[in-house]
Homo-oligomer: A and B are copies of this chain.
Amino acid sequence: MNAVEIKAEPLTKESFLPFGDVLEVEGAPSMKINDGRCDRFHDICRLSFEEGNAGISLFRSEASPMPYELTLFERHPVGSQAFIPMTSAPYLIVVAGDDNGQPAQPSAFMARGDQGVNYLKNVWHAPLIALQAGAVFAVVDRIGPGDNLQEHRMGRPFYVMA
């Protein structure tokens, strides 16, 4: 049995657009505030929280050994989910389109520690893959009733190279 390997590419707004948004300071700000002392990059995510509300949680993760053995995808059918790094720690992102209710061919991205990411609702993604122990992320996702988690176990693992 051949192992399937994918190599992470650098995370950019353009390449990630079908899956979600990259939260990064780039280009010209939307406006100046606070008497010109502060740049505001305004409303840069496509948030969505059906039958629920936005909440903020904190995630603190162990480091995942590399290459990452990807065995599980998840998605959130009724809510987007944003990850904002608070410890400048890089992390690995794996996403996939949908193929009849299962993840299609995955794509992997290497996120810098100054890049947040927002998964659109219902986008298949790997669980948080931190590259440093004790990495902390603020997570903006849906708080509400009902089931907002679907999981898919892979028949055989992918190996993701950072």
Contacts and interface: CB of A to CB of B under 8 A. Distances in A.
A55 B59 contact: no
B58 A41 contact: yes
A110 interface: no
Contacts of A60: 25, 29, 38-39, 41
Contact of A25 (B58, B114, B118): B58
Interface stretch (A9-17, A42-50, A96-104, A154-162): A42-50
Interface string A110-151: 000010101000000001101000001011100100000000
A152 to B, nearest CB: 15
Nearest to A126: B34
Interface string A29-41: 1100111011111
A34 B127 contact: yes
A90 interface: no
Contacts of A82: 56
A66 to B, nearest CB: 14
A135 to B, nearest CB: 9
Given A47-B56, A114-B136, 10 more contacts: A38-B61, A40-B57, A41-B57, A42-B57, A43-B57, A47-B53, A47-B55, A49-B54, A87-B88, A116-B138
